[in-house]
Structures are given as C-alpha cells and as structure tokens.
Amino acid sequence: MPDGSRQSPASTPSAADVAPAIAEVLHAQRSFFAAGNTLPQRAREEVLRAFLSAVEHHESQIIEALAEDMGRSSTEAYLSEVGYVTGEIRNAIKSLGGWMRPKRMLAPLAAAPSLSMLVPQPLGMTLIVAPWNYPVQLALAPLVGAVAAGNVCVLKPSELAPASSAVVKAIVDMAFDPKWVAAIEGGVETSQALLEHRWDHIFFTGGTEVGRIYAKAGAEHLSRVTLELGGKSPTIVTQSADLDVAAKRIAWGKWFNVGQTCIAPDYILAHRSIRKELVEKIGAAVASFYGEDPQKSEDYGRIINDRHFARIAELIDADKVAFGGKTDASDRYIAPTVLTDVTHDDKVMGQEIFGPVLPVLDYDSMDDVLAHVSKNPNPLALYLFTTDSADETFVLDRISFGGGCINNTLMHFSDHKLPFGGVGSSGLGAYHGQHSFEAFSHKKGVLKTGNFLDPSVKYPPYDDGKRRILRKLVH
C-alpha cells in the first residue's frame, strides 16, 4: 500500500491530551491479565461467543457504515467483512481446545526418562492498529487471534473510515469488558500516545513507511511486532492460460473494493502472444460485471477520500488507456482502467496503485518475468495463470512473495488454514485461523523428566566408558 495511505493527517489534539485516558485503560488491562482472568479455556470461549453475537447483531450497521465510508455494495461488505470475521470467530471457538493443548513429543534419549512439550502462553498486552480499506475485517479478524490466545488488547480502528470505526467500537463495547478488550478511536495523536507504552505484541496493518514507525516502536520496548503491509503484487498470465477464466478472475480481484485491497493484482505480466486478447477479455468481463457505465453500478464503490482520488488519477496516462480512464472528482469515481504499452519508467509502476488502475506489461520468457518482478521489493501477493507445470514450478521456486494463487486471485486470503502475511518489505509475521492464535502466543519449550530413573552416565567424573556412551547419545 502507498506509504502513509492508511494513516491520517495530523489532527488537533496532541498525544499528551489523550495519554491519561490511554494510561488508565492499560493499567486496568494489565491488572486484569495479571490476575489470570484470560487464561481459562471456558472464559475465552465465552467471550468469543459474545464477540460473535455482537458482530452478528451489528451486521446491518456494518454494511451501512461501509456504504457511507466507501460506497461498498452490501454483497462485497458481507463477503469481505461480516462473513469473514464471523467465520474466523466460529473457527476459533471450534478449534480453541486443540490450539491450547500442549504438543507433546518424545525427548532425546540423552534426556531420558523425559517428555518434551510445546506449551502455548498468551503474550499479555497487545495492540492492534487497523487500516481503512477493510476497516471492520482488518480490525476484528486479528482480534480473534489475540483473544483466543488469551491476551488483553487495545484496538485502534481507522479514523479515515469514521462510520466503520464507530461500529467497530460499538461491537467491542458490546462484546468485551474494557479490561479485556478496549477500542480507542482517534487519529495520529492517539497512535503516538499508544506507542509511548510498552506492548507485548503490536499488530499493524498499513503502509510500509508507517509500518517502519511501528517496527521502531516495538524495537524500543523489545515488543514482538506483526506487520501486514503491501507492495506491487504481480499477476502473471502465460501463453497456456485459459484466458476466459483468467480475465474474469483478474477483473474480479482487481476491482473488488475498487482496487483498494492490499493483495489486489497491481499489474499484469502477460505473454506477448496473448496480451491483446487478454486485455479484450478483461474489458468484456468488466462490462459484464458493472455494465457499460460502472459509475451507475451498485456493485462498484468509490475511492476513500479526495487525497487518494487525486493520487490515483495522476497515475493514468491518457495515451496508454486501453479502456476506462474516466474520473469524476465530485463523486470520487475512477472507472475500471487498463493501461497498455507500460514500462517500469511509467509513474504507475513507481508505487503501489491501491486503486482501480491496472497496467499491463509484456514478457517473452519466464526469465523476463523474474527480471520484471525483481525490480520491486518482495510483493505481498502473486497470481499466476497457467496450465504449464514447468512455469508453475519456476514461479514458486524462483520468486519470493507473501502468498498467492494459481489460476485465481484474492482467494488464498479466504482459507483459514493458510497463513496470511508478507515477506521483507511486504510484511513480518502471519495470521488467520490457527496462525492468528500462534501469532499472539509464545510457545514455551518445556522438558519434563521422571524421577524413577537417574542414569549416572551424565554426571562427573567422566571416564572413557562414559564418554563413549555420551557421544552416542548426543548424535
């Protein structure tokens, strides 16, 4: 995501103005956690059920808030926000016992008679900072893992989606004792005040530059940090791809939420032999989704604010528009737009687009693909459309990326079994499902030894016989 695009401009209050209220919340949460209130499995399950009930209770308010903030359709809002969060909560309730259970393993022979265990332990005080583009899901989905793992938490929703922020706070207030989870609204001043405190874990979703601020804050207090960032996610379409399927799935993934998705296809690398046909089929898919005038479609949203509208509109080179290109500042509308004959020197290739503009570049060989992708830092996502297993193996082996799909877009995010996260500048750490529980847990390695046998071979004084036995035991 573009640097700072999920962070607000400076607002009137200072960090000092909001600091006392934050300190009071944190003091209460530390005491609540220290008393062991979050440790029992039953307590966690009960609060997760209350969480699920609160989200379901606010379903209509969530959908209305997303329409107000971003012009999101009710279908998109349910699929990507309400339904996703309730799915995460249900999965956590069902799986919590297994996640919490220590994993037992045989200890090495040298430690006999012993049993080794991995014991999950909550980290303690956690901070979740949410973005504006999926302002409900990306606030509440990480919270599922934090609560399931037995932590207390402060959640800061995005002030750039104010209606959604208010609903997120209402959900948290309904579901949780503020000593367990508290939602604190505000702008940059609130973020600054929160980062003055020591956290056991900071979970931030946003742009890379702002992510560095949170990483530095974590380093200052030696806090664990999860960073879910972004980058220019490529979509590779080979000459063996099914172009009808590829066009529809690329168009859906790109223009879902008007391209304001951190894992949206950022640009296409199309084999030269199929590029023209692919662009035509993508245009046909867009028309079938949104009609001849997407501005009139109930399923096509709007850019979050004027600043981002202006930034995205400047990326459109009128001489390279294959279709789309229409903008309306008064409505924050930018049409689904494809650019062709694009090179890495074009402005649109110099930043994460995070909007409804899709540049298309040609390639001739998989080595060209590798060279193109390597011009940018490791992407958060990558999509490959091919029926050639050799091309599939080449991409999976040679290109580093956070996660992705073969012959699809976005859908890896929907699988609770798959970890979601970046690599390098696209992120640090991963979550979703059990991976969320693990992100907010520490796995204690514990070795438990019985008292019924205590071999003297490990104790001094050592002779040649003991040394021979010990050398074999540690192999």
**What residues are annotated to the active site?**
228, 262
Strands, E, within 123-228: which ranges? 125-129, 152-156, 181-183, 201-205, 224-228
Residue from 308, 304, 254 nearest 283 by CA: 254
Q: How many angstroms separate the CA atoms of 419 and 213, rounded?
A: 24
DSSP string covering 101-160: SPEEEEPPGGG-SEEEEEEEEE--EEEEE--SSSTTHHHHHHHHHHHHTT-EEEEE--TT
Tell me how far apart the alpha carbons of residues 154 and 140 are, in angstroms, rounded to a whole number.
11
Separation CA 381–CA 400 (nearest Å): 9
Q: Are strands 103-106 and 114-122 parallel, antiparallel or unpaired?
A: antiparallel
Identify which of 187, 189, 172, 179 has the alpha carbon closest to the alpha carbon of residue 151.
Answer: 179
CB neighbour class for 13 (10 Å; exposed up to 12, middle 13-18, buried from 19): middle
**Helix, strand, coil % in the chain, rounded to nearest 5:** 45, 20, 35
Task: Please give the Cα distance from 35 to 223 (Å, whole number).
Answer: 21
Closest CA to 174 of 293, 14, 56: 56
Q: CA 29 to CA 26: how far, in whole Å?
A: 5
Instruction: List Cβ neighbours of 241 (8 Å cut-off, separation of 6 or more).
Output: 274, 385, 386, 387, 407
Nearest CA among 312, 315, 324, 340 for reference residue 285: 324
- Bridging pattern class, strands 337-339 and 357-363: parallel
CB 123 within 8 A of CB 151: yes
* Other residues' Cβ atoms within 10 Å of the Cβ of residue 47: 19
Distance, in Å, from the CA atom of 473 to the CA atom of 467, rounded to the nearest integer, reads 10
92 backbone dihedrals φ, ψ, rounded to 5°: -65, -45
Query: What is the rounded CA–CA span in Å between residue 256 and residue 80?
Result: 10
Q: How far is CA 194 from the centre of its chain?
A: 21
One-letter identity of residue 42: R
